[in-house]
A and B are shown apart, each in its own frame.
Chain A
Amino acid sequence: MTVLQLDAVTRVHGAGDNTVHALREVSLTAATGELVAVMGPSGSGKSTLLNVAGGLDRPTSGTVAVEGADLSTLRLRDLVALRRRHIGYVFQDLNLIPSLNVIENVMLPHELDGVRRATAKKQAASALAEIGLAHMAARYPDEISGGQRQRVAIARALVGERRLLLADEPTGALDSAAGDDILALLRSRCEAGATVLLVTHEARYAAWADKVVFLRDGAIADSTDLSSDGSAASAR
């Protein structure tokens, strides 16, 4: 099933001499269980693509559909509900709140969403257990390592029934073994039925994906797809 579909998405910032074409006619699909990586140099439109895909930004033209729903036709209330319940976001700056401990950070969005505290806590605990950080629940963000903070941010994005996960450089400045752990985690979410759109500029992380899309000046320059053919897809 197609979870995310972008059709000829263009995003133009500014006007007149300051016009920036952040995305040009980008088309892309991601199915259930798929990990799709977006690569490209800085300024190529990766973050814009992720924001548009998650309904945090609107395309200038073209359409974005999440689980079949065209985001431009949703009422604001429904868009907000979709974003909160079905889409998880991991941003470059993790936005963990320093005065809350690990489990409180993971619970917060759900409490804000009206989920009862006890339920939110239970969901948060199972998300933490899943990423191997149950024993860190009572620690504060500055008492855990960078890799662990990154995993907490992912746990927060995973809680509940999130079927689409959007991650912008989630490997940040981690060393390659810790970065691999993050990718293993995202990959296992895909195996559990989630769809992940991952932005990275590092090929070794993009290589975990079923599909890799290269952005150049806002347009897709080329892409590789292993999902249809597990091994013999070499173009050599």
Chain B
Amino acid sequence: MHTEYMSIRHGLLALLSGGPRHGYQLRADFEASTGATWPLNIGQVYTTLSRMERDGLVTPGETDEQGRVVYSITEAGRAETTRWFSTPVARSDRPRDELVIKLAMALTAPGVDVAAVVRLQRTATMRALQQATKAKHAARAGTAQRLVADSAIFQIEAEQRWLDHCETVLASSSEAHGGSRPGPHDPPSQEESP
């Protein structure tokens, strides 16, 4: 939740660095850049704006004829935007991965067919990858949206490669050690080449 707030906040700041906007405009512009991947509700937008106002990053200005407040970025907000773009995202900020936990537990808990767990997941992951690919090509989107869609595709693909790797490690370890199971924490090795 914390990181989600952070990325919405920085996304809104980046938009405001291009000029003042009210909440509905911010929501529309955010979605225009990122596609339908992370739909924002207007409540999230205004909650985020009021926290940013408290932190001195934005200031409310005029109210337009429809009663909407137009927000502008402050100097502190600009500095924060610059800092955001010049700092890499930390991997440790990402949430725990249920799949990794499940696989580790499948190897630990008694009576679980780990290979079947891997196979089942791989089929589901492949299907997710097919769907993401299909959605991407149906969308015919601009560059920003295309790269957002590609991000999802590459992440699913990484999971798929990891599952292939798990299967290979599980198969070779049960051949080599007559069924003894490896730890799930071995670093992934290079994919085989074609």
Does more than half of chain B's interface fall in helix, strand or loop, or is it mixed?
helix
Known: A187-B137, A203-B157, A204-B157. A234 touches B129 (CB 8 A): no
Is B160 within 8 A of A169, CB to CB? no
Interface of A is mostly: loop
Contacts of A235 in B (CB 8 A): 120, 123-124, 127
Give bound CA distance, A169 to B194, whole Å: 8
Number of A positions contacting B (CB below 8 A):
29
| Given contact pairs A42-B192, A42-B194, A169-B194, A204 touches B129 in the complex (Cβ within 8 A) | yes
CB contact list, B110-152 vs A, under 8 A = 119-120, 122-124, 126-134, 137
B154 close to chain A: CB less than 8 A:
yes
Are B131's CB and A226's CB within 8 A?
yes
Cα-based distance from A36 to B192 in the complex (angstroms):
22
Whether A224 is near chain B, meaning CB under 8 Å from some CB there, is yes
Name the one of A41, A203, A222, A231 contacting B131, with C-beta atoms under 8 angstroms.
Answer: A231
Give the residue name and chain of the B residue nearest to A231 (CB): B131
Which of chain B's residues has its CB closest to A203's CB? B160
Chain B contributes a number of interface residues (CB within 8 A of A) equal to 26
Mask: chain B, 86-99; 1 = CB below 8 Å from A; 0 = not = 00000000000000
- The answer to whether A234 and B124 touch across the interface, beta carbons within 8 angstroms, is yes
- The stretch that binds B, out of A9-17, A52-60, A152-160, A206-214, is A206-214
Chain A hits for B120, CB < 8 A: 235
Contact, CB under 8 Å: B130 / A41: no
Closest 4 CB pairs of A and B: A207-B129, A207-B133, A203-B160, A204-B157
Residues of A in contact with B (beta carbons under 8 Å apart) = 41-42, 92, 169, 172-173, 184, 187, 201-204, 206-209, 212, 214, 221-224, 226, 230-231, 233-236
